[in-house]
Amino acid sequence: MAKGPATITVAATGDFLLHEPLITQAAEDAAKSGHHSWDFLPMLNQLRPLIGTADIGICHLETPVATRRGPFQGYPAFDSPPQIVDAIRDLGYDTCSTASNHTLDQGDAGVRRTLGALDAAGVRHTGSARGSAEAGRTNLLDVRGVKVAQLSYTYGTNGVPIPPGRPWLVNSGLDAPAILHAAARARADGASIVIVSLHWGEEYRHAPTGEQRALARRLLASPDVDLIVGDHVHVVQPFDQFNGKWVVYGMGNQIANPIANEEDTHEGLVARFRLTRDAAGRWQATASFVPTLVEAGPPIRLVDLPRALARADLPAGPRARYRAALDRTTAAVRALGAKVPVLDGPLPTNSPAPAEQLAGP
């Protein structure tokens, strides 16, 4: 008989992209508590019920982190406060993808600092590594007996070359056979569910490229891949299905500069999936999402749009702005015909405890 729960919930979000205004805001929020540090929780606090009530919370940490006192820098070569990892943990995330076009912004040292910060916070990670042995291990999490694997890959590294002899620093290149080989290895390591995080697509374009759709179709044709969640393009892209399995091409910016660029780069979502095991032991997923918005403030705050719009006292100006953002995000999610519902509250948790983190064989 199958072990573990019959249903597992997953919450996944878009890019944590720490531009300088966000770093300044985190310092100001820490100062309000009398600390000379960087506190990202006030900025992100509305994510807590959305992530913390899922069995597995998946983040995308796009940028490397510096030492705890900096110096820090934003675009184009990011070096972010590691205090973002404290917030990631406290919001309820269990695992993060780290393969992105910015993974090598600070070289080998940046990779090591980032993974060390995640380790110290007890958050699993995949997509970059400090050595070949670490790169070869499957990132496995356990939900009361059900093992879930996360894989992570990026299209490239902004032209920064991977040092000779260290290909394990980042999973660079969207090579379908390589991804499928890793997914098969995850199955062999005991994974019942395999989730692939992909850093891909054309920036600021809502429609997925032909390459995205072809890769998704090929990966989801395999029995070894159950779900694809995408990042990188900084706007929301559609949900789609192949072989009865879901791909989210792009989840938008979870948090990024709310002042620069167009308004749709301030929008993102929390993708929610309920995976249910059928009588044959296969996992079938249903999808929903929560649209989010980064408000420029001051102070800068991430907004759960359905929750905000449910407030009777919300002023007319923000109400109109939030409604427009929710409608844009919903249209983008459904652009390929998927009738994905907006979730207007947190899903009930299936477990009072977070996923147990397994190091893998």
d(CA 86, CA 261): 28
φ/ψ of 321, rounded to 5, equals -65, -45
Residue 61: CB atoms within 10 Å:
30
Model confidence band, residue 36 (pLDDT cutoffs 50, 70, 90): confident
What is the residue extent of each domain of the chain? 7-358
- Measure the CA–CA gap between 15 and 23, rounded to whole angstroms: 15
Spatial separation of the C-alpha atoms in residues 236 and 268, rounded to whole Å: 6
Locate 172 and state its tokens: 């660079």
Fold of 7-358: Purple Acid Phosphatase; chain A, domain 2 (3.60.21)
Instruction: Give the tens place of pLDDT for each residue, 236-283.
Output: 999 999 999 999 999 999 999 888 767 789 999 999 999 999 888 889
Query: For residue range 130-178, what is the model confidence (pLDDT) as tens digits?
Result: 999 999 999 999 998 899 999 999 999 999 999 999 999 999 999 999 9
Check residues 127 and 280 and name the one with the higher pLDDT: 127
Distance of CA 265 to the CA centre of its chain: 16
Report yes or no: 194 and 212 within 8 Å, Cβ to Cβ.
Answer: no
Convert the pLDDT of each residue in 76-94 to its tens digit: 999 999 999 999 999 999 9
244 DSSP 8-state letter: T
The pTM assigned to this predicted structure is: 0.94
Calpha distance 10→314 (Å, rounded) = 30
Q: How many CB atoms lie within 10 A of CB 156?
A: 17
- What integer pLDDT is reported at residue 41 of this predicted model? 97
DSSP per position, 105-119: TTHHHHHHHHHHHHH
Distance CA 25, CA 333 (A): 30
Question: Any bridge partners for residue 287, and if so which?
Answer: 273
Stated as kind and residue range, the H or E segment containing 242 is strand 239-242
Starting at the edge strand that comes first in sequence, how are the strands of the sheet with 139-143 ordered?
239-242, 245-248, 227-231, 193-199, 146-154, 139-143, 356-358
Could you tell me which residues come within 8 angstroms of residue 351 by beta carbon, excluding any fewer than 6 positions away? 5, 55, 143, 144
* Region of 277 on the Ramachandran plot (φ > 0 left; ψ -120 to 50 alpha; else beta): beta
pLDDT for residue 346: 54
Write the pLDDT tens digit of every residue in 184-202.
999 999 999 999 999 999 9
C-alpha separations of 306 from 14, 50, 165, 264, 274 in Å: 18, 12, 49, 17, 20
Query: Each residue of 310-353: pLDDT tens digit?
Result: 999 999 999 999 999 999 999 999 999 999 999 875 544 444 34
Q: How far is 167 from 287, CA to CA, in rounded Å?
A: 35
Cα–Cα distance measured from residue 297 to residue 123, given in angstroms and rounded to the nearest whole number = 30
The helix (H) or strand (E) run that includes residue 297 is none
Question: Under a CB-based contact definition with an 8 Å cutoff, are residues 106 and 64 in contact?
Answer: yes
Q: What is the pLDDT of residue 361?
A: 30
CB 231 within 8 A of CB 15: yes
Kindly report the length of the chain.
Answer: 361
Cα 187 to its chain centre, rounded Å, is 22
How many Cα atoms within 13 Å fall on the side-chain side of residue 162? Answer: 20
